[in-house]
Homo-oligomer: A and B are copies of this chain.
Amino acid sequence: MGKGRVEAFTDGVVAIIITIMVLELKVPHGEDVHALLPLWPIFFSYVLSFINVGIYWNNMHNMFHTVQRVDGRVLWANLNLLFWLSLMPVTTAFVGENHFAPVPVAVYGIDLALCAVAYAILVVMLRRLHGPGTTFAKAVGQDRKGKISLALYLAGVALTFISQWIGIALYVFVAMIWFVPDKRFERLIEKA
């Protein structure tokens, strides 16, 4: 079974998720600069989620590059990941509209953690299908970066109940280790 249509469908769903999040940026009432200020929490959470969804698209793009075939399990593991990503617009709006209150920040982190779990399941399904020693298995490796991200998300959720700003800082930190093209970062993680 070819991977082309899975990639096309995934691209479509991710393109829609990343775009409809902007629908939460409601047009401000009023026509002066002060009308824009109350939008900052929604704008900040939109930026963070745009980057997070962008990171997933980048990672899926790179991973599927070395994928040779897909089966039913992979299709469903992929749909599972798309499901948790599809909740991102809702959890983002929940955070933004409540000005980073602890429960919304924790819910947002749980969604990020479930995306990370779904991504790990997808990797497992693809590794099982391709077998050890294949280009795919070598390219993915131990996926330490993914495991560390998951741990940091869960830490973020827990520490949100001390202060939500710790949680947000951890989510931003995870985004940075994926986003910043810094080789030293990557070596540090591989040594961990």
Interface residues of A (CB under 8 A from B): 1-2, 5-9, 11-20, 22-25, 27-28, 30-33, 35-36, 47, 50, 54, 57-58, 61-62, 65, 72-73, 75-76, 79, 82-83, 86-87, 89-90, 93-94, 97-98, 101-104, 107, 179, 181
Give complex CA distance A178, B65 in Å: 29
For A62, the chain B residues whose CB sits under 8 A away are 1
Asked if A27 meets B97 with Cβ closer than 8 Å, knowing A9-B15, A13-B15, the reply is yes
Q: Is the CB of B83 within 8 A of A27?
A: no
Give complex CA distance A48, B103 in Å: 26
Give complex CA distance A36, B9 in Å: 30
Q: Is the CB of A79 within 8 A of B54?
A: yes
Give complex CA distance A5, B57 in Å: 10
Q: How far is the CB of A175 from chain B (nearest CB, A)?
A: 12
